Structures are given as structure tokens and as C-alpha cells.
Structure 1
Amino acid sequence: MLHLASQSPRRRQLLQQLGVEFAVIEVEVPEHRAADELPLEYVRRVARDKAIVGLAAIAESAADAVVLGADTEVVLDGEVFGKPRDAGDAVAMLGRLSGRTHEVISAVWLVARDRELAAVSVSQVRFAALDASTIAAYVDTGESFGKAGGYAIQGRGAALVEHLAGSYSGVMGLPLFETARALREFAC
């Protein structure tokens, strides 16, 4: 049985698109990047940590369980943008992304008792040049909160995106192509 170790409603919706049956395990994993940790390594580690914690939570009740952990982060100039702490933080993030291209790294990690498999998607997202009133109006929608980089490409944040090269679903939080391929390899 597949289990999704995530609190994200977007990941649940995306995984449902693949038509696989799964249960949800809500996990709490610290998301703190080490000083010398590269953004890609950080995202992969957090995705793996979520899967491992999820597997540990159900290991006794589901010996044949497969757990999927995922993490998605916005990266600009080597800096990982987490989720904004408040409106001021969201405004600052969006201001820095304005008129620039950033990376969105999304990692998927599958674990079972005897094996692991990882997949990664890296997308390039270019924001249009945004003025202060556009940023403020977007932050006022409340959509910035709980989203890496302070925006939701699947919502009103789509109007901020001038160009996307890569995985739309990866930017949302779960790269479907990579996830489907990993699930096939894992025989889920």
C-alpha cells in the first residue's frame, strides 16, 4: 500500500491525478538547511526524511508499506526560499523574484523496508517585473502563505509567471512525470 507522507493538500490532489490508491500520513520534519548544504541536496534530504519518518510511523502496522515523501523549494542565486513567515516576508520574497528567473526544485523519495528510490525535477520559472502594488495585492489574497517562495502557480500566482521551463506539477509540489516513473519502478 502506498502512503503519502505530507500535509500538503496540493500533493494529495496531484497524486490522485495519477490514479493510484494511497493513504495519508501527516509527518513533522524539521526543514533547516545546513550552512554548507547545496539546495538540491537539501531538498532531496528533506524529501527522504519525510518518507523515513512516515515509514517509521506505520512500520508495525504495514509491513509491505511504501511511503512517498516530497519537498519543493524555490531557489534564487543559491538561496533557498522557504515559506514566508508573514506578509512582509512574502512581499520581500516576491520583490526579489520580480523580473528574474529562479529554480524550483522538487524531490520525491519512495521508501520501503528494503529499498529506496529518489526522483528530482528542476524547473526554471521567470517572473514578470512586478511593481509594489501588484505584489501587495497578491500578498493580500493570502495565497502566499504556506507556499515556497510565497506564490502558488496553480492559483492567482500564475499571473506573476512570465515563463516556465520544466514541470508545472513540480512547481506545484509534486512532479507527476517523475513520480509516475518512480512508482512504476517501485512497482506500486
Structure 2
Amino acid sequence: MDTLKVKPEYLSQRDNLSSEGTPDHFTQCFIASDTMFLRWAQKTYQPSKKTLIDERAWLAAIENNLSGRETRFFWAVHERALNKVLNRIDAPFTLRAIPANIQSIAEQIESGFPTILSMMGTAYKETVKGHVWLAYWTEKNPQSEIGFGGHDPYGNALTGWKDQNGNRIFYGSKDLRKMILPTCHYFKVIHK
């Protein structure tokens, strides 16, 4: 079920650069997914604003939000930075990183919120441990099992990411059970 009036635009992490300006295609899924979410939030809650957040600026914002021994792969870093922007654009919610639960994620998506979530990629490519993507619609199969559709910034996990187009990808219930393990997280919407 696709309930969004404003659809998130797709961004690929495969064209990203590091903060030093060198190609960095493999570690930017969190940056690309955050940016897709923030652009949706800006268009939804501040539609008159013409300048949208770009991935390079978002990477710098994340790196400027590091505290202590944190790295840019920590959910807490992204939570702080995302909530700063959501507050600035007067979004009626904040985000909190919590352990992933397929049913809770489905309910959030169906209530109209794209959802940043992680998956374990090792089921599809041995070298991919963790991965982050943006889900924004749900679908049920004939057995009423739920699947998620959205944008995967690295491509299609079902092909081991050989298919580099992750625009409007769908991962069915069988795949979600392999991907979303107890160690995975998502950003839960907390209404103000």
C-alpha cells in the first residue's frame, strides 16, 4: 500500500564521494538513505524551500556530529543530525533508532512515513554485512505476508547488487525475514 502523496526521489550511493572528494561507493548507503528521507521531509513540510539537502553536505553534517568514539556508521549520530534538520523544517515528529520489527515498520510506512532501515546483506552478498535503505510502501502476498518497497541506494539486493538500479525495489516477506534480523534497526517516528 503506497500512501505517500510526495514520493521520495531515488539517490544512488554508487556516485558518491568521500569527504576528501575521492570515490566512495561502498560505505554511503546511510548517507544516501538519510538524504532521500530528508528531501521527502523538506518537500512535505517545507515545500516552498527550493534548496534541497545533497549527499555531500549531509556527509559533512554527519561527520560534524560525531561524539567521542563514534563513527558515521552509528545510528545515534544519524538520529541527532536528522532530528536537528526535522526540527528546523518544523516537521511534527522526531526519529528514534530502535531494533527493527517488520510489523512495526509496516504500520509506520502505512501511516504515511518513509522509513530508513537496515538489513543484513550477507544473505545476498557475503561481503555486505550491514546495509541501509529507504522503504515507503507495503504489499501483501496471497498468504497476507507483508513485503516492503522503496529505494535501495546500492541496487537490488536480490541480485547480490549486480543490478545497480535500486529505484522502486520490492523485497517480499521471504526476503525480509532473511534481511531484517534482531540486530537490525530502523528510525521510528515519534509524534511531537
Provide TM-score, normalisation by structure 2: 0.29
From the CA coordinates, give the structure whose radius of gyration is larger.
1
Relative to its length, the structure with more strand (as a share) is 1
